Amino acid sequence: MKRVVLAMSGGVDSSAAAFLLLEAGYDVVGVFMRHGEESVGSCAVANDEPNPLLPILQGRLDHKQGCCSASDAMDARRVADRLAIPFYALDLQADFARIVHYFVDEYTHGRTPNPCVQCNNWLKFGRLFDYADSIDAEFVATGHYARLEQVDGQPALLRGVDARKDQSYVLAGIDRALLPRMLLPVGGFLKPQIRELAAKAGLKVADKRDSQEICFVTSGKHGQFVRARSDKNTAGNFINANGEFLGAHAGIENFTIGQRKGLGIALGEPHFVIRINQDTNEVTLGTKDALDCDSLTATDANWLTDLPTSTFSSMAQIRYNSSAVPAMITPDGAHSFHVKFTYPATGVAPGQLCVVYRDERVLGGGWIR
């Protein structure tokens, strides 16, 4: 029986994934990734310990953590108990500090980060593989809505069947060499099917609401979160496209390209953030047509196929919640590429991931610069 380490968040998707893996005959080990502050119930892990998986203790998770709440941990434990699978907690606070630092640094430099992508790259399909190796587990699984299939004899990452829940975008940075060891059990289902399956399996999380916030920004106010962790003065001025003063703002970390709501300034007609200058802390506002962008450059590229060597036609997706649009992709070595949109794209934001697709397949991605 093949062993798999499953990241369990206490939500319906990872819980249903546990059931599906058991049904498929896997030896499932559930893992809850603890990212918050240490507490009396924290399972601290030293890098030199032979077995970094420690049992989670019932009744000891009585605080709100920086990422997942105590109630989420208990939901995951109850699912594991219901399915009779071993369940452990990993204290990844030190590792997760890297994601928080990245998040703060990007915003204070006028970019819009995507911490979920980096969590997948560094933790869920990074550190969890280290833990899987320590217990002789062949696979790591999550509840992401994406698929893994063989294409031309090689593992390929594809969009999930449920277009409204597809999460292939946030998996585009995964190391290609890890694809053969990844399992994504829910990617072939629609969300209502997953909820129905969880209900039939007797899992009480079947109707649990999906999380909508950045997991470690528990207040939902990312600007406030960034300011509390940075000593950089990012306050500055609003200007228009001609450089004329429009007003003052409290910090560039409050804004992203394409933003209209929450600007804190009235200009008589809808205005959008069209540029953020980290050197001057100026935020440029303009009308919606000023958001149109013909091209972009992406760096730190990650390819899930053989490295392209010439310009090719594809589909490019510039945000998790946006649609992929036709574009010509020109590689610039192994680590960067240029995108020329067939039609202007709206709201291209430095710091976000640009993911390149061919039909349903993820070819690769890079960070918009």
Is position 119 annotated as part of the catalytic site?
yes
Architecture field, domain 291-368: Beta Barrel (2.40)
Which pLDDT belongs to residue 103?
Answer: 96
Which of 276, 262, 298, 300 is CA-nearest to residue 118?
300
The catalytic position among 43, 119, 293, 354 is 119
Rounded Cα distance between 369 and 359, Å, is 25
Which pLDDT belongs to residue 288?
Answer: 93
The CATH number of domain 233-284, selected from 3.10.20, 2.30.30, 1.10.3470, 2.40.128: 2.30.30
Rounded Cα distance between 3 and 355, Å, is 31
Which pLDDT belongs to residue 36?
Answer: 60
Domain boundaries, the chain: 3-200, 233-284, 291-368
Which pLDDT belongs to residue 215?
Answer: 76
pLDDT tens sequence across 181-197: 999 999 999 999 999 99
pLDDT tens sequence across 17-60: 999 999 999 999 999 988 763 333 333 333 333 333 333 333 33
Q: Quickly count helices (H) and strands (E) in the chain.
A: 7, 18
The catalytic position among 43, 67, 68, 215 is 215
At residue 347's C-alpha, the angle toward residues 105 and 107, to 5°, is: 10
Which pLDDT belongs to residue 46?
Answer: 33
Quick one: 3-200 is in which CATH superfamily? HUPs (3.40.50.620)
Averaged over successive runs of 10 residues, the pLDDT of the chain (369 residues) comes to 95 97 98 63 34 34 44 92 95 90 96 94 92 96 97 95 97 96 98 96 92 74 91 96 96 95 90 96 95 97 95 97 96 96 95 97 98
Is position 354 annotated as part of the catalytic site?
no
